[in-house]
A and B are shown apart, each in its own frame.
Chain A
Amino acid sequence: MTTRLACHVGIGPTVDGVALVADDNFSARYDLDRVNGVFSRPQHRLYGQSYRDVILVLNTAKGGVATAWMLHEMVSRDMAPKALLLNAANTILAQGAALANMAMCDRFTDGDVTGLIRTGDRLVVDPAAGLVTIAERAAA
């Protein structure tokens, strides 16, 4: 059974992929080893995990402005997530998604997106429609 989650209209193309979820925040500079494609900040809940080609589901942004360039750089090396879903994006994440042509959505109608989606769920993200579909649930 599919579940449809409404959100604010976002940025970027429609994509599908597997979710990687954490109740934590995000900065490409603060949290990532972008050479090796893993979370490198020891305090991050996704520490050590690969972010490449997954749909990251997190709470909000943290820190600085570098992410706006970094998403573009990560995409250029095929070392990027497919999409970012957040409870509340900040301006930097939106600007970076726009340059990188990366799918991004936030402000979900049904509440905390890090609770609505589980790691391993297969998702379809449609930013133009403001819609995320859980096509297949991961085992609980």
Chain B
Amino acid sequence: MKLDDQEQAMLAGEHGSACQWAIQHQLQVGRMFDAADMVSVSQAHMMADPESLGDAGVAFVEGLAADGAHVAIPMITDPRGVDLSYYLPLGQTEEMADLERRFVAACRAMGIMMTDTCINYQTIMPPLYGDHVAYGDTGVVIYSNSVCGARSNFEGGPSALAAGLTGRTPRYGLHLDENRRATQRFVVDDRPRDLMEWGILGATIGRMAGSYWEVPVIEGIDGAPTSDEIKHFGAAMASWGSTPLFHIVGVTPECRDLGDVEGAGLDARRVAAADLNDLGAPFGAAGEAVDVVVFAAPQLSLVEIAQLARLCEGRRRASSTDMIVCTPVQVYGDAKQLGYIDSIEGFGGTVLTGTCFYQQYAREIAEANGWTRLLSNSVKIVNILGGYGYRPVLASMEDCVASAEAGTVIDRRSA
């Protein structure tokens, strides 16, 4: 890879050992993907929950901080794994909280802004069209690439941190024009009606696309979805397909028409009702007892919190069913002063800030609380949690609240 004078100096250790590690790491990755050089990035966003890091990962980050590392660009964080104001009631341990505290202290020492959100594009500072960034969290990346027209690969925690320290990332993948063209073409019959249906559609296309290196272009969506709808659509697609970029004809900024993304010559695959049903049907369990209802993955926006609060007003969850809501601190403040948090808590829900359910030692909190049957309107979270021992089920937001109230799964998808 071609390095400029500053990058050569980083490699030689002239910017400190942390920066030297960072660029060595980036060179390894860049060579694997045939990057010709580095590209400057304007922001970095790091996923790093303590379950993923473990003691080894936290010690590694502490070591960088002890070496005097400091980020060169604005750098923010994905949801934490422990809400330090509410962890013992959730069944998390002091050991987990201590790991979180150590990591937070190391990040702050490096100048990282602990925003703890996976919806930074709705709350912090959305990237601009053509903006090169180094983002973690697949939902953040796919939204930023597809909806904002920014340019990022999936940057796992170590690589996002490396980008924060060097202010650049290897120029490969979605930083290059040629990798942003459509490679698969899909035609949608029906516009989804709610967030869960947007998620099912996104997951279906992601599963059909099947690889990080495929770029779906989608026809048949007339008119712009809301930010929350396309958030669920993208997050589910990225989860099920490891897909970092999609185009919707006439909606997303790089695709005014098929010609913009060279999609006209691709064979069109129809996404039929049977395909959607094939994906969603395994997540049905109408009538069965539900242990916990979860609204998360992605964290809820202010609009979603408002919708949920309206559904909760004047109702109460069953004593046998818990309800967890995850939202960033940036939303929580507004939601509190608008009365939404009180409505959700009045229903018996618990609102966690700066975390996301699946990143919170999901296996351990399931065992501590006796949760197996989990219900959510997030098609991303039901995809993740099967491996953690849950039996996940899907329903709309309305049916999730009704299920929490009844204590059993109410699912009117086929009604």
Contacts and interface: CB of A to CB of B under 8 A. Distances in A.
Interface string A100-133: 0000100000000000000000000000000000
Interface string B55-96: 111001000000000000000000000000000000000000
Interface stretch (B6-14, B105-113, B370-378, B381-389): B381-389
Which of B47, B154, B383, B387 gathers the greatest number of chain A CB atoms within 10 Å? B387
B155 A88 contact: no
A34 B245 CA distance: 29
Interface in A56-75: 60-70, 72-73, 75
Q: What interface size band does chain B fall in?
A: 35 or more
Given A72-B57, A96-B156, A30 B387 contact: yes
Contact of B57 (A41, A73, A90): A73
A41 B386 contact: yes
A11 interface: yes
Nearest to B61: A69
B100 interface: no
A62 B242 contact: yes
Interface in B369-405: 383-384, 386-389
A10 B57 contact: no
A14 interface: no
B211 A66 contact: no
B386 A76 contact: no
Given A8-B32, A10-B32, A40-B389, A66 B49 contact: yes
Given A9-B31, A94-B29, A66 B52 contact: yes
Interface residues of A, number: 43
Interface string B21-62: 000010011011100000000000001110011111100100
A35 B56 CA distance: 14
B138 A63 contact: yes
B137 interface: yes
B167 interface: no
A95 B212 contact: no
B240 interface: yes
A43 B386 contact: yes
A86 to B, nearest CB: 10
Contacts of B138: 63-65
Interface string B211-240: 111000000000000000000000000111
Nearest to B138: A64
B2 to A, nearest CB: 17
Contacts of B29: 11, 91, 94-95, 98
B158 interface: yes
Contacts of A63: 138, 238-240, 242, 383-384
A91 B30 CA distance: 10
Contact of B157 (A30, A41, A68, A89): A68
A76 B52 contact: no
Contacts of B60: 72, 99
Nearest to B59: A76
B281 to A, nearest CB: 14
A92 interface: yes
A66 B47 contact: yes
A128 B359 CA distance: 34
Given A73-B53, A73-B57, A90 B32 contact: no
Given A30-B384, A65-B137, A92 B154 contact: yes
B136 A65 contact: yes
A20 to B, nearest CB: 17
B284 interface: no
Nearest to B210: A60
B407 interface: no
B153 interface: yes
Contact of B387 (A31, A90, A94): A31
A17 B173 CA distance: 31
Nearest to A41: B387
B253 to A, nearest CB: 23
A42 B53 CA distance: 24
Contacts of B384: 29-30, 63-64
A134 interface: no
Given A63-B239, A64-B138, A91-B212, A98 B25 contact: yes
6 contacts: A29-B52, A42-B386, A66-B156, A69-B48, A95-B25, A95-B159
